[in-house]
């Protein structure tokens, strides 16, 4: 049942990305840059403030395998997402989460944060590989703690190194390893602390060196004051846990930028119940809840301190796509917590009833999140709306250029819709169309010539 539900959720995700997303904004800018630079120069050019050569390589491969074919990009993202689900399931099994682990896996796959995290190619090709590498490293670390096989350490280290090629937040992987390893079995971890911490210490040393080098390169860049960063970090924690519960973080009615709402108070009440249940069921299980809060805040701290936090303020904390980066850690910590506080609660037939109720809750959670995604697609200039509009526009451009691919058509230069290039780096069809038709010509006075309408349809002007 769990496997079938997870597969159904992955299929729904694939359908959604195919029907309501496409290349947009930074994606197009990266492809245009690719056409005007050599391979190695493109590979080593930063993506905004990110030095991520494997991110660049993946864009280069996707474009050269099938130029402007978004289905290929979807296949790449789904490969990483499915890999994440596989290692997440295996890690929950190592954590002895039992049947609850299956429900947590389904809940992870059902979260709207998955759609928000993967719907934008440029954003997702940083995060999806990083999340996969993080879960892979955690699994191999826990497996090494159990069987001591050196191959596990090699796989863990390889995942750690590769993650840096996609996203700088790989510096946090050693912290995740220690946290999950320690909380999974505190007594055994303390008794083997020296042996189990040694490989992580080397990784942490490498992460620290990378972080210092990164900060030195970006010295003098705009950053938020410490108090403002802490305030923003707390705001993100509020948004993350609200979104994880199934509320619309980008909807001011659900999660206002300042203060609380009735639905947020319900989430806060649920958190208090979890703390109380921890106190009743098992001494020390509150540490897992505290770890979940601290991990979310630590993971988002780089953005709160960045120039984006300075320029955009608290509004950036309400962008649901950023929660995708922390969701897997929340799922793993939820697995540890449930293992600690639910042991022996139900037995026999009652266990089946409890699992059935839990599965029904997961299905309801999936339905709520699907509704949230659908409503998010209706918000003008929201991320899902822009991706949906880009899908319609570029779908029409593809259909039109496919009919003209045999010759050297002449176009007039037209502006692209604002949602397709918010910063006007790809401002017009003179920049955009060569991505589809490398030999396209532009002459505003030619007769006949083609024009691209604001919906992407290509028509001939006589």
258 and 335 fall within a common domain: yes
**417 and 325 in one domain?**
no
Contacts of 208 (CB under 8 A, 6+ apart): 171
101 alpha carbon, distance to own chain's centre: 21
Listed in sequence order, the residues at least 6 apart from 408 whose beta carbon sits closer than 8 Å to its beta carbon are 439, 440, 441
Q: Report CA Rg, the chain.
A: 24
Q: Assess whether 226 and 339 both reside in one domain.
A: yes
**Segment 144-154 mean pLDDT:** 92
Quote the pLDDT of residue 166: 94
**pLDDT over 60 at 347, yes or no:** no
- Asked if 17 contacts 77 with a C-beta cutoff of 8 angstroms, the reply is yes
State the pLDDT confidence band at 254, using cuts at 50, 70 and 90.
Answer: low
At 434-451, the pLDDT tens digits run 999 988 899 988 888 999
Residue 129 is assigned to a structural domain of this protein: no
In the structure, what pLDDT confidence band is assigned to residue 433 with cuts at 50, 70 and 90? very high
The answer as to whether 268 is a domain residue is yes
Q: Band the pLDDT of 251: cuts 50, 70, 90.
A: low
Contacts of residue 57, Cβ cutoff 8 Å, sequence gap at least 6: 43, 165
- Does one domain contain both 328 and 245? yes
pTM, two decimal places: 0.92
- 232 and 340 in one domain? yes
What CA–CA distance (Å, rounded) separates 324 from 312? 20
Query: Do 416 and 327 share a domain, yes or no?
Result: no
Same domain (yes/no): 224, 340: yes
361 within domain boundaries? no
Q: Domain total for the chain?
A: 2
139, with CB counted inside 10 A (0-12, 13-18, 19+), is buried
Statement to judge: residues 327 and 228 lie in one domain: yes
pLDDT of residue 221: 62
In a domain, 128, yes or no: no
Q: Which of 313, 344, 375 is the last residue of a domain?
A: 344
- Higher-pLDDT residue of 215 and 220 is 215
Within 10 A of 147 (CB to CB), how many other CB atoms are there?
Answer: 8
Same-domain status, 227 and 318: yes
Q: Has residue 379 been placed in a domain?
A: no
Residue 168 covered by a domain: no
**119-123, 144-148, 349-353 — which is least confidently predicted?**
349-353
Domain termination residue (choose one: 326, 344, 362): 344
Q: What is the pLDDT of residue 344?
A: 54
**Cα 390 from chain centroid?**
20
Dihedral pair phi/psi, residue 84, rounded to 5°? -60, -45
pLDDT tens digits, 7-27: 999 999 999 999 999 999 999
Domain membership of residue 57 (yes or no) is: no
Which domain does 444 fall in, by range?
A: 406-461
Of the three residues 316, 344, 372, the one that is the final residue of a domain is: 344
Please give the structure tokens belonging to residue 347.
């037995």
30-58 pLDDT, tens per residue?
999 998 899 999 998 888 777 889 999 99
Please say whether the beta carbons of 326 and 89 come within 8 A: no
Contact in structure between 325 and 130 (CB atoms under 8 Å):
yes
Shared domain for 318 and 433, answered yes or no, is no
How confident is the model over 49-84, as pLDDT tens digits?
Answer: 778 899 999 999 999 999 999 999 999 999 999 999
Give yes or no for a contact between 287 and 213, defined as CB atoms under 8 angstroms apart. no
Q: Give domain status of residue 70, yes or no.
A: no
């Amino acid at each position: 049942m769990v496997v079938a539900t997870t597969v159904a959720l992955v299929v729904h995700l694939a359908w959604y990305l195919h029907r309501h997303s496409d290349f947009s904004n930074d994606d197009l800018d990266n492809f245009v840059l690719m056409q005007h630079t050599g391979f190695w120069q493109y590979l080593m050019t930063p993506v905004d403030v990110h030095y991520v050569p494997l991110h660049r390589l993946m864009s280069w491969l996707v474009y050269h395998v099938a130029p402007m074919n978004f289905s290929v990009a979807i296949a790449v993202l789904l490969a990483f997402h499915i890999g994440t689900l596989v290692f997440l399931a295996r890690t929950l099994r190592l954590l002895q989460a039992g049947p609850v682990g299956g429900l947590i896996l389904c809940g992870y796959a059902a979260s709207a944060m998955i759609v928000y995290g993967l719907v934008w190619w440029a954003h997702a090709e940083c995060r999806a590989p990083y999340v996969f590498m993080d879960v892979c490293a955690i699994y191999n670390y826990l497996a090494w703690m159990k069987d001591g096989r050196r191959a596990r350490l090699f796989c863990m280290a390889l995942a750690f190194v590769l993650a840096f090629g996609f996203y700088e937040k790989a510096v946090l992987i050693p912290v995740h390893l220690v946290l999950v390893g320690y909380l999974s079995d505190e007594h055994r971890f303390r008794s083997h602390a020296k042996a189990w911490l040694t490989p992580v210490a080397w990784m942490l040393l490498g992460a620290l060196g990378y972080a210092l080098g990164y900060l030195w390169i970006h010295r003098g860049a705009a950053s938020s004051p410490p108090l403002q960063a802490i305030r923003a970090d707390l705001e993100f924690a509020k948004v993350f846990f609200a979104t994880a519960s199934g509320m619309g973080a980008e909807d001011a009615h659900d999660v206002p930028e300042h203060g609380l709402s009735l639905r947020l108070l319900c989430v806060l009440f649920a958190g208090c119940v979890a703390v109380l249940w921890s106190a009743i069921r098992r001494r020390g299980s509150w540490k897992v809840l505290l770890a979940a809060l601290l991990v979310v805040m630590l993971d988002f701290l780089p953005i709160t301190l960045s120039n984006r936090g300075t320029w955009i303020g608290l509004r950036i904390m309400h962008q649901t796509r950023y929660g995708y980066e922390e969701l897997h850690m929340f799922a793993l910590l939820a697995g540890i917590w449930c293992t600690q506080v639910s042991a022996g609660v139900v037995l026999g037939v009652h266990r089946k009833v409890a699992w059935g109720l839990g599965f029904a809750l997961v299905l309801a959670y999936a339905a709520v999140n699907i509704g949230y995604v659908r409503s998010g697609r209706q918000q003008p200039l929201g991320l899902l709306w822009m991706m949906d509009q880009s899908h319609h526009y570029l779908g029409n451009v593809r259909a039109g250029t496919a009919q003209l691919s045999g010759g050297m058509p002449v176009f007039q230069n037209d502006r692209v819709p604002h949602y397709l290039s918010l910063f006007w780096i790809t401002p017009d069809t003179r920049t955009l169309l060569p991505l589809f038709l490398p030999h396209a010509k532009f002459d505003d006075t030619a007769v006949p010539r083609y024009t691209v309408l604001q919906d992407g349809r290509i028509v001939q002007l006589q």
